[in-house]
Structure 1
Amino acid sequence: MAKAPAKPRKPAPAVAAISAVSAISNMPGWMRNLHKHRGLIVPLSFIALLAVLLVPVPPALMDVLICFNISLAVIVLLTTISMKQPLDFSVFPSLLLGTTLLRLVLNIASTRLILTAKADSPEAAASVAGHVIMAFGEFVAGDELFVGVVIFLILVIVQWVVITKGATRISEVAARFTLDAMPGKQMAIDSDLNAGLIDEQEARRRRERIAQEADFFGAMDGASKFVRGDAIAGIIVTLINVCGGFAVGMLMRGWDAGQTARVFTKLTIGDGLTSQIPSFVISIAAALVVTRSGSKEDLGDQLTGQVTSQPKGLIITSAFLLLLCLTPLPTVPLLVTAVGLGALAVAISRATQAKEIAEAEAVKQAAAPPPPPVEQLLKVDTLEIEVGYGLVALVDTNQGGDLLERISATRRQLAAEFGLVMPPVRIRDNMTLQPTEYRIKIRNNPIAIGQTRPGKLLAMDSGIASGQIGGDPTKEPAFGLDAWWIDPSLRARAETMNYTVVEPTAVMATHLTEVVKRHADELLTREEVGNLLEQLKEKAPKLVEEVVPGILKPTELQKILQNLLRERVPIRDLEAILEALAEWAPKTKDPEVLTEYVRNALRRSICGQYSSVRDGGKPKLVCVTIDPSLEDIINGYIDRAPGGTTVNMPARVANQIAEHVARSMQIVLSGGHPPVVVASPQVRAVVRQILEPHIAGVAVLGYNELIPSMEVESVALVMPPDALVAQSNSPAMAA
């Protein structure tokens, strides 16, 4: 069916940096200088605003500033429409404050120009505040001052009551909901990190993004108050301009009341529009920012795509407009709109049908692939998972299955933990299996079998559960723990009762991980050993050349590495392994003896696997030790020859020793410690061969592998069984 995909390589960061440098180098000289000192633009702009606030501005400069204010508002609106998500415009709250300050400063400056107009007549006073303000007043009001006042009031009321109030409320809700969702998002990131689905760098990036979202919506909640206050300030400034203009024209200049009202009302309307139109545009932009969802498309694509995705609504609307044509309403515009919507609905419907037909053909072609060549039938997959038809959805990413992602995470985990690169996993369906059954195979040989249930969760009791959770009882396939299949709705309750709750795909991935660990020596091929040596050669080329093939053959190194993996000793530090072999391989070629020397070199790593750290930071190892008399009995069955080491122990004797050690091991296991036995280096490997079939996951350490800084607590000393003592004292045995 599928292979676990390898993680795609990311492009080098240097590529983007080189492109950016190249783009900057192609700029004109003045633009390069501006880009170099772009950090000074904002502080200089605020200083300029203070200057405008304090110093009278010429009318020509006022025209430029008003045009800049309108242009900036349009740029902000178009930027919010083009952005894909709110954080793409994270500077918006600060920009909102800046634009509000700009409008207020321009209001004050224009009011100063209007009220301090040095004109001999009302006609001459019409252009004292600049041509832009005068043009807005003439264009909107014209000869009807009442019309201009009404239009201005409508604009202010719509902005204040509708846009600004709605944006303020949405900002408050978005800020509160974002803060409430932060703990859940943080827990989800920690869960993905612990499961190996993401690395530490990706987790840090996601946490930073969550913090940025909270800061952004919190800032928008406060910045929206500036927009509402700006609308109120615009109304107050307008009233001041009208009243102040009357006072200046009639009382100070002695002008006629009608002419004064006409001139200063036009100037006030023009000034108000030049301020309120950018404010209205910025308010719309603020509302668009806080109402955007987490879509990956800009507003234009998202809006047109969703509105036109259902042609049925367009057809019904077209029919409704055709019915309105029967009423006294104008027929031509209704008919044109109805025909246009109907044509659009037909075009969208045909395009949708064509797309569905193409997708169906693609699925049909994919469902019936050509038969594979005969040569492919000869290939044997190193690692394979067969699933029943009920588990296919767990593999198919289109149906939400994440098994492939978990297998990729397992590969990374094994590489980091053991230094072993897990081979690609072939996943295929098998109709002979039960619907919820899966089987793990190595080189086409079944190794393990298990069951998992899609749509359920597995609640495992690791010994600390505080009650019965219910559900369907089962056994966790990797470790044999008592477990129950439960509904997802019971997850919170199970976790409260100290059950470990995992997804169905996590059950399969964990089972696969344990199978690979148990059979890691079989997966370490000669080709993989060559790859490991090539990687080490980049760091220590002389060491590699000295050991392989200088002292050892690749097959001999493979045997030693397999011995280490068989006992779950990591081979990640291949350099330390070759250093030990470079010292001892010239003296002996016995792989078993060389393995013991390598283990001695890796003793810190080995002890770290099975020891626990106490409160003082000192490691502690809880174990069972072998009595020297029992070691002598075991040593009597070992035949060490120049060609290698062999063990001639009868199965009956091995079983007696293993059962005797297993009884003593119960003390270690009852304390929650891993099963560890300590013996002399001469018999360590043989003791493990004896115990492995009887004690799952047993580790046998030599006395020489115990680091001095570790505290060793032996809870039991295993003596020889009475039957073996009697047998060893018999004349036949003595002979």
Structure 2
Amino acid sequence: MKILAHARQGALPAAILLLVVLMVVPIPAFLLDVFFIMNITISLAVLMVALNAEKPLDFSSFPTVLLFATLFRLGLNVASTRIVLVHGHTGSAAAGHVIEAFGSFVIGGDYVVGLFVFAIIVIINLIVVTKGAGRVSEVSARFTLDALPGKQMAIDADLNAGLITPDEAKKRRVDVATEAEFYGSMDGSSKFVKGDAVAGLLILAANIVGGLILGPVSHSLTIAKAAQTYTMLAIGDALVAQVPALLLSIAAAAIVTRVKSEKDLAGQIGSQFGSARTWTPVAVILVLLGVLPGMPHFVILPLAGAAGFAAWKLNQIAKRPAIVEAPPAVEAPDPSKIGWDEVSETMLVNLDIGYGLVPLVDERRGAPLMGRITGVRRQLSKELGFVVPQVRVRDDINLAPYTYRVMLGGVCVGEDQVSPDEMLALDTGQGFGELIGKKAKDPTFGLDATWIATGDADVATGQGYLVVDSGTVIATHLNHALGANAGDLLGADEVQSLLDELKERAPQLVAALAPLPLTSLATVLKGLLSEGIQLREFRRIAAAISIAAQRSADPVEIIELIRPELGSLIIAKLAGVREPLRVMTLEGGLEQLLGQAARQDPGRHVIEPELGRRIVDALQAAAQPLIAEAKPFALVVQPAIRVAIRKLVRTVLPDTPVMSFFEVPEDKAVEVVAIIGNQPQQQALAA
């Protein structure tokens, strides 16, 4: 294998050296014949590869191949010109049998006919094929470069939506860049073909003029004899070079005019011409032409019959029933046996849908919901720091037709209804005007919404509404439900995977966690997730846990011990680097009262119900303006009462972080937006 690799690496330099040899060193006529046949062989091979390519990028090396093939042919022209001018006086075989064959057999030995044949080939090659291919290359290169930013944005959008993986996105970016480079190279390489045709004309003129001078002067030939001999050799030389040039021009034109398809060119053309509706009119028109007086009936009518037969045969093939392979026989289940799959649930996350929503997961209709669910899993996995379990979608006849239900570990964490044939217009606060449709509530954020007809989507968008389809509604609700219950998605297997991945980068850190049982570590991580602390920075979290585990083995205490180390991670979602952290605090007397109760019963973290209700009401009243303006904030309290306050507020404000004073970094600016239990609120608490 290494020998073959070295041989391939040395082949190209050897070929370039051969080109130089052809241009400088005289070669015998026999080798010239071999090189001419080799030139024709290479041109045919290039043409076959171009015709069999499914898309232009399948032959991405074509511009470079075209360059070297053109240089090889020009090197042969130099070598043949030398032989023609030096030995042409000896006869038609002076420059080899290939040139002699093209000069005598192909053009019938008449150099006047040869001149016209050569002129026609040059016109076809230069004016028609080369010029057309060059124009197509130029336009393709321009449009490809113009479309490059849009294609890159489309790839980024698909990646962000979760429709493709990062590896697929990387491959598509490489394909887009390669496509732009290919068409740019084809635009330049088309100039080689054009220059080759022009060079053929100049070389022909040089051979004829040189022969007319050298024949009488150096070899004592008459003008007529010199004209006949050297013109025949020059035309043979020009034709033997122009035939491969024409093949390469056709290959270039075939490549740049290809439209991307899963079939090669023959299959693409065959599939598009293989229709009875194509050949029936052809047969009828040929019959009408064939019966006209003066027409060559014996030529037209057989062709009409062939076209009619093709139409009949294609029509029979179209009517033939498709052969469907019978599915393999499946053994009928024994009704007396009960399997574990009938009594156990194998998937952690399930999405149950009513029968009216089945089209959203039907593969024959593209299964739009399945792609969005994959995107939700991929995005959640990136945010949470571990692989979110698969979501199984199943239809449930017990549900209403357009109802869906999100089940996590056998518990319903989300349920609502959608209309699959309509769009949901959400009022985000910028909408104006009334929409015609069924009023509803957004299942994820509780926004006012309206189910509208698909045709009214543009109108609703113009009025400032956010319009989404039913698949997006379900996927968004699924994303929110799983994110809100992220702790339930993490199990021992996921924790072990986190440890295995971390072990490759920090084996000593993983060893420091070994004394802590896997179940306790999982409980700590689940507790962090339940309070919105993601595991993307697992190395930092693991380092904090390893230190805290030396002081306590209780998962709840470990969480409280490591939270000050993770304070910057907690507030990263609440405030920017230069933005102050908005906080709410408890009034000093109220906080002291709660602290005393927590110290008397440190294990229960329970607040007296009536006092808790009034604190929650005051907190909701203070938080409402911030929530309406989408301004994140945190509730900051003493460390001793943090757990109790968190349990109190998570039922009404689940997304509000409850932090202790020690968790706020010292260098972070703080803006106190409300004090719960100040004078007006104390009056409310006393009422």
Report the CA distance shift for 1:565/1:681 in structure 2 as closer, same or farther (over 3 A). Answer: same
- 1:224-623 alignment, distance < 5 Å: 224-249=190-215, 253-256=219-222, 259-308=225-274, 310=275, 313=278, 328-329=297-298, 334=303, 337=306, 341=310, 345=314, 348-349=317-318, 353-355=321-323, 358=324, 375-380=340-345, 381-431=347-397, 433=399, 436-452=402-418, 454=420, 462=428, 465=430, 475-482=441-448, 504-525=470-491, 528-529=494-495, 532=498, 550=515, 554=519, 556-573=520-537, 576-577=540-541, 579-585=543-549, 587-588=551-552, 590-614=554-578, 620-623=580-583
CA distance in 2, matches of 1:521, 1:630: 32
SS state of the match for residue 322, structure 2? Answer: helix
1:70 deviates by 1.7
| 1:221 and 2:191 are equivalent in the alignment | no
Partners of 1:389 and 1:431 within 8 A in 2: yes
Partners of 1:469 and 1:494 within 8 A in 2: no
Post-superposition Cα deviations, 1:598-622, rounded to whole Å, max 9, x if no partner, equal 32332232222322122xxxx6322
1:628 corresponds in structure 2 to 588
| 1:687 and 2:687 are equivalent in the alignment | no
Partners of 1:622 and 1:668 within 8 A in 2: no
Partners of 1:383 and 1:424 within 8 A in 2: yes
| 1:701 and 2:666 are equivalent in the alignment | no
Bigger mean CA offset, 263-272 vs 508-517: 263-272
CA distance in 2, matches of 1:283, 1:558: 67
CA distance in 1, matches of 2:105, 2:555: 97
Report the CA distance shift for 1:459/1:204 in structure 2 as closer, same or farther (over 3 A). Answer: farther
SS state of the match for residue 608, structure 2? Answer: coil
Report the CA distance shift for 1:539/1:280 in structure 2 as closer, same or farther (over 3 A). Answer: closer
Partners of 2:528 and 2:534 within 8 A in 1: yes
Bigger mean CA offset, 415-424 vs 253-262: 253-262
SS state of the match for residue 609, structure 1? Answer: coil
CA distance in 1, matches of 2:557, 2:223: 115
Post-superposition Cα deviations, 1:385-409, rounded to whole Å, max 9, x if no partner, equal 1234443333234422243333233
| 1:75 and 2:40 are equivalent in the alignment | no
2:608 corresponds in structure 1 to 649
TM-score with structure 2 setting the length: 0.84
Report the CA distance shift for 1:536/1:46 in structure 2 as closer, same or farther (over 3 A). Answer: closer
Amino acid at match of 2:123: I
Bigger mean CA offset, 425-434 vs 633-642: 633-642
Bigger mean CA offset, 420-429 vs 228-237: 228-237
In the comparison of the two structures, how many residue pairs are matched?
679
1:161 to 115, 127, 137: 127
Post-superposition Cα deviations, 1:429-481, rounded to whole Å, max 9, x if no partner, equal 24565655432222444322245555766665655x58669675654432234
Report the CA distance shift for 1:397/1:602 in structure 2 as closer, same or farther (over 3 A). Answer: farther
Partners of 1:657 and 1:721 within 8 A in 2: no
Partners of 1:656 and 1:721 within 8 A in 2: no
| 1:663 and 2:621 are equivalent in the alignment | yes
1:682 deviates by 0.9
Amino acid at match of 2:569: S
Report the CA distance shift for 1:589/1:58 in structure 2 as closer, same or farther (over 3 A). Answer: closer
* Identity percentage of aligned residues: 36
1:563 deviates by 2.3
CA distance in 2, matches of 1:469, 1:197: 34
1:291 deviates by 1.5
1:80 deviates by 1.5
Partners of 1:314 and 1:345 within 8 A in 2: no
Amino acid at match of 2:583: C
CA distance in 2, matches of 1:127, 1:154: 25
Report the CA distance shift for 1:293/1:570 in structure 2 as closer, same or farther (over 3 A). Answer: same
CA distance in 2, matches of 1:494, 1:49: 68
CA distance in 2, matches of 1:102, 1:527: 64
CA distance in 1, matches of 2:304, 2:74: 47
Partners of 1:458 and 1:484 within 8 A in 2: yes
Q: Name the Cα RMSD after superposition.
A: 4.2
Partners of 1:639 and 1:648 within 8 A in 2: no
Report the CA distance shift for 1:412/1:93 in structure 2 as closer, same or farther (over 3 A). Answer: same
1:625 deviates by 2.0
1:272 deviates by 1.6
1:195 deviates by 1.9
CA distance in 2, matches of 1:73, 1:93: 13
Report the CA distance shift for 1:188/1:499 in structure 2 as closer, same or farther (over 3 A). Answer: farther
| 1:137 and 2:103 are equivalent in the alignment | yes
Bigger mean CA offset, 85-94 vs 138-147: 138-147
TM-score with structure 1 setting the length: 0.79
Report the CA distance shift for 1:245/1:552 in structure 2 as closer, same or farther (over 3 A). Answer: closer
Amino acid at match of 1:377: E
Amino acid at match of 1:564: L
Partners of 2:83 and 2:95 within 8 A in 1: yes
1:252 deviates by 5.7
1:130 deviates by 2.4
Report the CA distance shift for 1:181/1:481 in structure 2 as closer, same or farther (over 3 A). Answer: farther
1:34 corresponds in structure 2 to 7
Amino acid at match of 2:380: L
Bigger mean CA offset, 695-704 vs 46-55: 46-55
2:30 corresponds in structure 1 to 60
Report the CA distance shift for 1:53/1:531 in structure 2 as closer, same or farther (over 3 A). Answer: closer
1:13 corresponds in structure 2 to none
CA distance in 2, matches of 1:393, 1:340: 43
CA distance in 2, matches of 1:300, 1:624: 73
Report the CA distance shift for 1:551/1:107 in structure 2 as closer, same or farther (over 3 A). Answer: closer
CA distance in 2, matches of 1:497, 1:415: 35
Amino acid at match of 1:354: A
Report the CA distance shift for 1:215/1:640 in structure 2 as closer, same or farther (over 3 A). Answer: farther
1:567 deviates by 1.0
1:515 deviates by 0.3
Amino acid at match of 2:589: S
Report the CA distance shift for 1:128/1:340 in structure 2 as closer, same or farther (over 3 A). Answer: farther
Report the CA distance shift for 1:487/1:80 in structure 2 as closer, same or farther (over 3 A). Answer: farther
Post-superposition Cα deviations, 1:67-98, rounded to whole Å, max 9, x if no partner, equal 33222212211222233322222232233233
1:656 deviates by 1.0
